Amino acid sequence: MVPRTPEEVARIRKVTAPTTGFAAAQKFEERPAGAATVRVTPDANAFSHPSGNITFEDELQFKVGNGLFRKLWVSSPSSTLASDGLGPLFNARSCQRCHIKDGRGHPPETSEDSAVSMFLRVSIPGGPEDRIAEIEDYIATLPDPTYGTQLQDFAVQGHPSEYRLAITYDEEVVTLDDGTEVSLRHPTYEAADLGYGPLHPDAMLSPRVAPQMIGLGLLEAVPAADILANADPDDADGDGISGRPNVVWSQEFDRPMLGRFGLKAGNPTIKEQSASAFVGDIGISNPLFTAGSGECTDLQADCLAAIHGDGDDREYEIDAEGLDLVTFYSRNLGVPARRDVDDPQVLRGKQVFYDTGCTSCHQPSFVTHRLEDQPEQSFQLIWPYTDMLLHDMGPGLADNRPEARATGQEWRTPPLWGIGLTEQVSGHTYFLHDGRARSLLEAILWHGGEAQPHRDTVAALPTDDREALIRFLESL
């Protein structure tokens, strides 16, 4: 990466400063990914286009990566040696199976439905590992001795799956100040029909729905210093917001790094996020996570002894070249252009968004590094509406399961770009880490902890202002 000049630093500070004018859209606001922005297509493929500034040659690389992202893996042994190695335990047979159309997954509607794009992470309290003892505030956990770090609800033939995800909802009606009634659904999760005996008595479970994939390369290209500049762990400015960075151990670089990806910012790079998903979700070994048996543990002897697909010319079930192609694909999924940025209701909603204090966590804009080897992500003014920091969201959203420095009540601020296209791409409007919110308004009303005052302000808004706020979010 190319260091910024003092003149560039001054320009960036000026262009990313909070706006105070809401009579018209800001310059370049309609292009949330800068030159990498893509046009909005009127179909479910709106999140599946390559960066708008990608070269013809790299678009071919993107399409090959897309093929691997969509590929259905099969169990070993198989005549299709380039596609074998599934499981033995798995949550999905392809990346696309969870990130449907590169958008959000969704939870099962009832306990009778299969777990659609959703699983449970699991861990137990434990002592710190030597290699991460240097990470301040690290919260030590260990895998469940029988089930590892996540529960898989599928298995290849001849092996039992680990569990069935059972979910029930209790409805709570919330009345806003203007008399509008909103029903919030409180989920209860159960790991039912356990295939390998009981969980550890101290097991902590965390539900996870697959997030959307757009703009990942641009988030990776934001300078760490710019993210850390927004951190305020002790709330020194007294605004009630205490954003903290997650710091995690990088398997790729063998050192602590800033966490950026995942619902608790548990992965530092797109490559590592992709590699961990391959081994955990599909049971596919790779250069970073080399276990051919995927998530099988020492207490799952038959699972460990099963035939798997590595050890041939590829060495791993997906080799370094394949992992790099999937990483390139994930890095270059384009962010669609904004809609109706000059619409009066959208502009009013934007002002409400700012006045309510939502930008305290949903940081509107950044400028990415200059990157000589990644021209698509290099020096772009982007509008992701996230600070990529951890925030305490209160007991209502807590999973009570820590991850690195993240506590059981903390979550990374999710990017908001593309959120208004969720229904078009994914066929639903389910939000938050477990999809419990069925609308943007429900998602806002679930905010607690640091965001409780902002949530209460939205609940007290006049109807017109609240509708304008939602209209603004739908334009992102």
pLDDT 10s digits, 165-204: 999 999 999 999 999 999 999 999 999 999 999 999 999 9
Share of the chain above pLDDT 90, in %: 90
Comparison of pLDDT for 246 and 76, the residue scoring more: 246
pLDDT for residue 460 is more than 80: yes
Which pLDDT score is estimated for 45? 97
Task: Tell me which of 3.30.70, 1.10.760, 1.10.10, 1.10.3470 is the CATH number of domain 6-49+223-244+336-474.
Answer: 1.10.760
Binning pLDDT at 50, 70 and 90, where does residue 146 land? very high
Domain boundaries, the chain: 6-49+223-244+336-474
pLDDT at 1: 82
Give the pLDDT band of residue 254 (cuts 50, 70, 90): very high
Q: What is the pTM of this model?
A: 0.96
- pLDDT score recorded for residue 78: 86
Q: Are 357 and 453 in contact (CB under 8 A)?
A: yes
Mean pLDDT of the chain: 95
Whether the per-residue pLDDT at 136 is higher than 60: the answer is yes
Peptide bond just before 375 cis, omega within 30 deg: no
Over residues 99-113, mean pLDDT: 83
